[in-house]
Structure 1
Amino acid sequence: MSVIVNITDTFPTHDILAVGSVKIWSSIIISGVMLKFDDQSGQYFFEFPSMENNKAVVKLCDKTLKEKLLDAMVYKYEEYILSQFENDNSGSKPYILVLEKERIERKYYRQQGLI
């Protein structure tokens, strides 16, 4: 089972971290998948686009596929955020990028047992 994610937009609104398209099993493409962060639980989650302009509502029943999709979206999003700071010494980044970078680094250090 393959899941390929392409992040198309970051921070389009205050509650959406990223929007992307997802390709599942090399044939199913879903555009407008939103990556969000729940402040209460400290967890990422994703939402498919809802019914608009006669577009179908997507529902995944396969738990493994849901986990793979979430992992792929989070990986691409975090990779994008961290790449914004590589080889750039200007120091003038939007504040939201700086906050997200710090949150991602704290999460990594917690996972490694360094905090």
Structure 2
Amino acid sequence: MSPDDAAGPLVRPYFLTGGRSRPARGDLELITLVVAVTDRVREAVSPEHARIVRLCTRPCSVAEVSALMNLPLMVVKVMLSDLIDRGYLIHRPPPPATAAPNRELLQAVLDGIRRL
């Protein structure tokens, strides 16, 4: 590990979000998929925002983006929300869980856990 790695991130997370602690969008969950509509940034954005656009050239979940960026989840949600509002990303929220899980499936999962 180099001294630079040990020092931690050079930019504080609150700086990346402009001091905001909540995203403007309330529909970004851990499993929400985001994908870039372009691979080029048309205007001045932070290097972190540009990196997210590049990461999302293939669909990524919000959790994946957070892990790949090595940033806290809420910071990534704020940044993703900004990029969606600016037209760089589109997202697909997970479908609502309306049906009860299948009893047989739950039993099979339970049996598998017991075998561990």
What is the TM-score normalised by the length of structure 1?
0.30
Considering only CA atoms, is the larger Rg found in Structure 1 or Structure 2?
A: 2
Higher strand share: 1
Higher helix share: 2
- The structure with higher relative contact order (CA 8 Å, sep 6+) is 2
